[in-house]
Amino acid sequence: MSQPLQDEGILFYLRRQGETSLLAVWLTRRHGVLRTLARGAAKPGNPLKGHLDLFHECDLSWEPSRRTTLHHLREARVKETHGGLRHSYARLLAATYFSQVIEQVSEPDADLGSLHNLLQSALEWLGKKDPHQHLVERFERAVLKTLGVNDARRTARSLLDDLSHRRPKSHAALMRQLSL
């Protein structure tokens, strides 16, 4: 059995996996994008039940898999819920888009402390205010600067398109929402 690993993470994807388990994808500070399986997390009485929700910031512990990129989540202690995101659809949509941008440009097992900090700051801001077009552009530009691929002669979105070759699904919905 492997030694458990620990890190801070922001939960940005959560899906039911079977009857009682959950697939949880995190942006961690030191281990990049981390895919975990929370076995039995949907069962009553499970210690993880209620701790796993979108955009929760947690201290987490997992057992690394030797064969796949899906690891076993052992523990998640909530540090911040970012409850203000749930005050509007636009806030949740922006948070989803921001996390998808980072996921697309990130490598597994990379130290992503600066991108983690950027998403953390964006979530704190969105917890208090509704998003706007300028915020989205600033976030995209900040991601590019962090990656060292910023080019002021081009739009941030076109540079991100070059990096990931596809836009996150939430981009079009967010742009529609911001134009209302």
What gap in Å lies between CA 39 and CA 4, rounded to an integer? 16
Please give the structure tokens belonging to residue 49: 């039940």
Q: Which helix (H) or strand (E) holds 100?
A: helix 89-105
What gap in Å lies between CA 139 and CA 95, rounded to an integer? 11
Q: Which fold has domain 5-80?
A: OB fold (Dihydrolipoamide Acetyltransferase, E2P) (2.40.50)
In degrees, rounded to 5, the angle at the alpha carbon of residue 102 between the alpha carbons of residues 96 and 103 is 85
Q: Output phi, psi for 37, to 5 deg.
A: -110, 125
**Are 58 and 77 a contacting pair, CB within 8 Å?**
yes
pTM comes to 0.90
The pLDDT score that the predictor gives to residue 82 is 95
Summarize pLDDT for 20-53 with one digit per residue, the tens: 899 999 999 999 999 999 998 888 888 887 789 9
Q: Output phi, psi for 112, to 5 deg.
A: -115, 35
Per-residue pLDDT of the chain (180 residues; tens, 9 = 90+): 568 999 999 999 999 998 889 999 999 999 999 999 999 888 888 888 778 999 999 999 999 998 898 999 999 999 999 999 999 999 999 999 999 999 888 877 778 889 999 999 999 999 999 999 999 999 999 999 998 888 889 989 888 888 887 888 899 999 999 997
**Are 103 and 33 a contacting pair, CB within 8 Å?**
yes
What gap in Å lies between CA 112 and CA 31, rounded to an integer? 7
What gap in Å lies between CA 119 and CA 32, rounded to an integer? 13
The pLDDT score that the predictor gives to residue 1 is 55
